[in-house]
Amino acid sequence: MIPALFLDRDGVINVDTGYAHRAEHIRFVDGIFQLCRVFQASGFALVVITNQAGVARGYYSEDDVRALHAWMSAQFARRGVTLTGAYYCPHHPEGTLADLAIACDCRKPQPGMILRAQRELDLDLSASVLIGDRESDIQAGINAGIPINLKMESAEGQSASRAAAVLPGLAAAVHHARHLGILPKSATA
């Protein structure tokens, strides 16, 4: 079993522009590749977990999500980073597509995507880290038993959070992980 760095997609990996589903919608967040290289070099699997309510709402298809994730994976690979897995939830209780308009166990804050990744990739959740930009991301990590859940500052505001820390940028995630002993002191972003 290996630890994982779980990353929310929109707002952590890429700037959240609302319902991004094509490559031309993606602008990577400053520091994401450096952050991933540091965690990867420290033996962490890199796993994307993302709610994609746009599928349930009929804005785009699951094929669109899978194609975007394949493109993103290739962009990471070009920069020396291997994404171990990408998991998405296509459901939303208020969706317009009846078969996807459900309350499920994979939509964050539920831990379903994380637990599925754990089973499929043989991950050690007790040694893992999650970075999200919404409280639902943090709650999913807590619900899955991930001990270190870090929240990026976001448009959601700075209300009370159950995150271990609220971070101003991705470089701060490396600093915080070093401080907690999750990454070696020599790890730099």
| Structural domain range at position 152 | 4-30+44-168
**Residues 129-149: pLDDT tens digits?**
999 999 999 999 999 999 999
State the Cα–Cα distance between residues 15 and 20, nearest whole angstrom: 9
pLDDT for the residue numbered 113 = 98
Is 16 within a domain?
A: yes
Is 59 within a domain?
A: yes
Q: Which of 29, 7, 38 is nearest to 130 (CA)?
A: 7
**Per the structure, how many domains does the chain have?**
1
Q: Which of 84, 20, 7 is nearest to 52 (CA)?
A: 20
Q: What is the CATH number of the domain that holds 126?
A: 3.40.50.1000
pLDDT for the residue numbered 163 = 85
pLDDT for the residue numbered 169 = 85
The model carries a pTM of 0.93
Is 55 within a domain?
A: yes
Is 35 within a domain?
A: no
Q: Which of 8, 16, 133, 137 is catalytic?
A: 8
Q: Which of 10, 16, 133, 137 is catalytic?
A: 10
Is 186 within a domain?
A: no
Of 28-42, 82-96, 166-180, least confident by mean pLDDT is 166-180
Q: What SS3 class is residue 92?
A: coil
Q: Kindly state the tokens that stand for 174.
A: 């490396």
Helix ranges (DSSP H) in 20-169: 32-41, 53-56, 62-78, 112-121, 135-144
Mean pLDDT computed over 9-24: 94
Q: What is the DSSP code (8-state) at residue 27?
A: -
Q: How confident is the model at residue 112 (pLDDT cuts 50, 70, 90)?
A: very high
Is 65 within a domain?
A: yes
Q: Is 8 a catalytic residue?
A: yes
Q: What is the DSSP code (8-state) at residue 36?
A: H
Is 15 within a domain?
A: yes
Is 106 within a domain?
A: yes
